[in-house]
Amino acid sequence: MKKKYLLLSVIFILFSVTLKSQIGGRYAYSFLEHPVSARISGLGGNVAVIDDNDINIGFVNPSLINPGMDNMIGFNYVNSFAGLNFGSIQYANTFEKAGSFMATLQFMDYGQFDYADETGNLNGTFGASDFALSVGWGRQLDSSFSIGATAKLIYSFYESYTSFGFAVDVAGTYKSKSGWEMSLVMQNLGLQLTTYTPGVRAPLPFNLQYVISKRLDHVPFRFMLIYDHIEKWDLTYEDPANPSGGIDPITGQPQYKSGFAKFGDQFMRHLIVSAELYIGKNFILRGGYNYRRRQELKIAEKTGMVGFSWGFGIRIYKFKINYSRSTHGLNGSPNYLTLVFDMNSFVRKESK
> What's the CA angle centered on 300, arms 233 and 247, to 5 degrees?
85
pLDDT at 246: 67
Percent of the chain with pLDDT over 70: 86
Tens of pLDDT, residues 297-323? 887 667 788 899 999 999 999 999 999
d(CA 38, CA 49): 15
What φ, ψ does residue 346 adopt, rounded to 5°?
Answer: -95, -5
Of the ranges 133-142, 255-264, 339-348, which one carries the lowest mean pLDDT score?
Answer: 255-264
pLDDT of residue 336: 95
Q: What is the pTM of this model?
A: 0.86
Answer yes or no: are the C-beta atoms of 199 and 181 closer than 8 Å. no
Over 50: is that where the pLDDT of 15 sits?
no
Structure-model confidence comparison of residues 166 and 297, the more confident one = 166
Asked if the model's pLDDT at residue 89 lies above 60, the reply is yes
Question: Which residue, among 181, 169, 178, has the nearest Cα to 136 in the 3D structure?
Answer: 169
Q: Sorting pLDDT into bands at 50, 70 and 90, what band is 136?
A: very high
- Residue 24's pLDDT is 39
What integer is the mean pLDDT of 138-157? 96
Would the pLDDT of 185 be above 60? yes
Q: How confident is the model at residue 154 (pLDDT cuts 50, 70, 90)?
A: very high
Question: 58: burial class by Cβ within 10 Å (0-12, 13-18, 19+)?
Answer: buried
What is the C-alpha separation between 151 and 171, in angstroms, rounded? 12
The pLDDT of residue 239 is: 65
pLDDT per residue as tens digits for the range 191-240: 999 999 888 889 999 999 999 999 999 999 999 999 999 999 999 876 66
Taking the CA atoms of residue 316, residue 320, residue 325 and residue 326 in that order, the dihedral angle to the nearest 10 degrees is 160
pLDDT band at 20 (very low <50, low <70, confident <90, very high): very low
Q: Tell me what percent of the residues of the chain surpass a pLDDT of 90.
A: 64
Q: What is the mean pLDDT of residues 143-148?
A: 95
Instruction: Report whether pLDDT(101) > 50.
Output: yes
Q: What is the predicted pLDDT for the residue at 245?
A: 66
Residue by residue, DSSP assigns 300-315 as: TTB-TTTTEEEEEEEE
Give the C-alpha distances (Å, rounded to integers) separating 321 from 42, 56, 215, 280, 313: 13, 12, 21, 15, 6
Q: What are the respective helix, strand and coil percentages of the chain, to the nearest 5?
A: 20, 45, 35
Q: Which amino acid is at 80?
A: S
Question: What band does 71 get if pLDDT is binned at 50, 70 and 90?
Answer: very high
pLDDT(7) > 80: no
Contacting residues for 34 by C-beta, under 8 A, at least 6 apart = 46, 78, 86, 108
How does residue 158 score in pLDDT terms, banded at 50, 70 and 90? very high
Band of pLDDT at residue 114, cut at 50, 70 and 90: confident
Question: pLDDT (tens digit, 9 = 90+) per residue, 271-286?
Answer: 999 999 999 989 999 9
Strands 221-227 and 85-95 turn out to be unpaired
41 pLDDT above the threshold of 50: yes
CATH class of 2-235+270-346: mainly beta
| Maximum Cα interatomic distance, the chain, rounded to a whole number of Å | 84
**Residue 157 to residue 149: CA distance in whole angstroms:** 26
298 contact partners, CB below 8 Å, separation of at least 6:
242, 304, 306, 307
* Segment 85-106 mean pLDDT: 94
pLDDT for the residue 250: 73
For the residues 184-195, what does the mean pLDDT come to?
96
